[in-house]
Structure 1
Amino acid sequence: MSRRQFLRLVAGAGGLLAACRPKAAETPLQPHPGRRAEIRGICFDLFTLFDPRSVERVAETVAPGQAAELCREWRVRQFEYAWLRATAGQYRDFEVVTGEALDYAAGARGLSLSANDRHHLVAACSELTPWPDTRAALESWRRAGLRLAPLANYAPGMLSRLLAHAGLAELFDAQISTDRARTFKPSPRAYALGPELLGLPREQIVFAAFGGWDAAGAAWYGFPTFWLNRLGVAPEALSAAADATGTTLAELAAFVAR
Structure 2
Amino acid sequence: MPDSPKVIFFDVNETLLDLAPVKQSVARALGGREELVKVWFTTLLQYSLVATVGDRYADFGEIGAATLQMVARQNDTTLSEEEVKEVLKPIRSLPPHPEVAVALDRLRSAGYRLFTLTNSGTEALEDQMSNSGLKPYFEQLLSVESVGKFKPHREVYSWACDYVDESPENCMLVAAHGWDIAGAGWAGLQTAFIARPGQVLYPLAKSPNHNIGDLDLLADRLT
Give the conservation status (yes or no) of the 8 Å contact 2:30–2:72: no
Are 2:192 and 1:226 aligned? yes
Q: Which residue of 1 aligns with 2:144?
A: 178
Question: RMSD in angstroms over aligned alpha carbons?
Answer: 1.8
Q: Distance in 1 between matches of 2:45 and 2:21?
A: 18
Are 2:183 and 1:217 aligned? yes
Q: For 2:51, give the aligned amino acid.
A: R
Equivalent positions of 1:76-225 (< 5 A) are: 76-225=42-191
Q: Distance in 1 between matches of 2:186 and 2:109?
A: 30
**Across the two proteins, how many residue pairs are aligned to each other?**
222
Give the conservation status (yes or no) of the 8 Å contact 1:187–1:217: yes
TM-score (norm 2): 0.91
Instruction: Render the CA deviation track for 1:77-118: whole Å, top value 9, x for unaligned.
Output: 110000011112222221221111111111112222244321
Q: Distance in 2 between matches of 1:223 and 1:96?
A: 29
Unmatched tracts of structure 2, length 5 or more: none
Give % identity.
26
Instruction: Render the CA deviation track for 1:31-79: whole Å, top value 9, x for unaligned.
Output: xxx4x3342221011121112232123235534522x233222101110
Q: Distance in 1 between matches of 2:19 and 2:179?
A: 16
Q: 2:16 aligns with which of 49, 56, 81?
A: 49
Q: Which residue of 2 aligns with 1:62?
A: 29
Structure 1 runs (4+) deviating above 4 angstroms are none
Q: Which residue of 2 aligns with 1:244?
A: 210
Q: Which residue of 2 aligns with 1:17?
A: none
Q: Which residue of 2 aligns with 1:74?
A: 40
